[in-house]
Amino acid sequence: MRDSDVKPRAEELEKEPPFPLTEVDKWVLSQTDEEFHLHDWDELRVIIATNALETLKRKPSDLRRYMAWSHEIKGQYGSMTNYILQHRLPWGPPPFKYVSSIPFHDPSDFKILRNDWPYGLTPDITHIVVWSKTPIATEDVNGDVTEESRKIIQDFVDRTFVKRLGEDSYRVMWFKNWVRLQSVRALEHVHVLVKDASKEDLEFWTGEKA
């Protein structure tokens, strides 16, 4: 989709967005890409360590494109979930049948993909999403992952991503959005950020050409 295709509808989409805009979204849309501050690795470490996930932002132009894309997708498929299941995760309709009740334990129960709509990150950072058929337990109060889930996810990230990079754990971080922050709530997923990932690394993890 070209900028010229999005621009004429930008004001309409901001008045009637395809999803609820947060105050952070509204602030981002008031900026230009040149004014926007990209998230760098050190900043992301602080955001994830303090669980301040609501501060993660897309670039203004990317957010507008994402809004336009979401509008088109909902018009064609009814929901983003339907689109993802038809084009990115050919698992059939939920609830999914999974092999293991432990998330990320059996390779057939998850799929690793690059994020089609990453946050506004510096160019050295790759945003990956790991989709799971197996439910990931969360706390009832705030929708954050339980301590057991956190350990399961960390073990998976270590053996899948960190090990591939020669045990260089500094180059890998992960997070799972709280339930209220998720844009695709019907499908379980975890975000993984990798610093200085090579083309070969990305193809190894995703099975797709980088």
What whole-number distance in Å separates Cα of residue 185 and Cα of residue 50? Answer: 23
Is residue 88 helix, strand or coil? coil
- Read off the amino acid at residue 149: S
Average pLDDT estimate for 28-33:
96
Tokens (6 digits) for 196: 């200085």
Average pLDDT estimate for 155-176:
96
Position 8 scores a pLDDT of 43
Is 90 exceeded by the pLDDT of residue 61?
yes
Q: Identify the residue whose tokens are 């303090």.
A: 50
What whole-number distance in Å separates Cα of residue 115 and Cα of residue 58? Answer: 12
Is 80 exceeded by the pLDDT of residue 141?
no
* HSE value, Cβ hemisphere, 13 Å, CA-based, for 93: 1
Is residue 127 helix, strand or coil? strand
Please provide the distance, in angstroms rounded to a whole number, between the alpha carbons at the two ends of the chain: 20
Position 62 scores a pLDDT of 96
Position 180 scores a pLDDT of 55
Residues 6+ apart with CB under 8 A from 187: 81, 84, 85, 89, 94, 131
Contact status, residue 69 vs residue 97, Cβ threshold 8 Å: no
- pLDDT-derived band at 3 (thresholds 50, 70, 90) equals very low
Is 60 exceeded by the pLDDT of residue 178?
yes
Domain residue spans of the chain: 10-206
What whole-number distance in Å separates Cα of residue 28 and Cα of residue 39? Answer: 13
- Read off the amino acid at residue 86: Q
What whole-number distance in Å separates Cα of residue 7 and Cα of residue 128? Answer: 28
Single pTM value for the model: 0.90
Q: Look at the chain and count its residues.
A: 210
Is 70 exceeded by the pLDDT of residue 207?
yes
What whole-number distance in Å separates Cα of residue 165 and Cα of residue 178? Answer: 28
Average pLDDT estimate for 88-95:
90
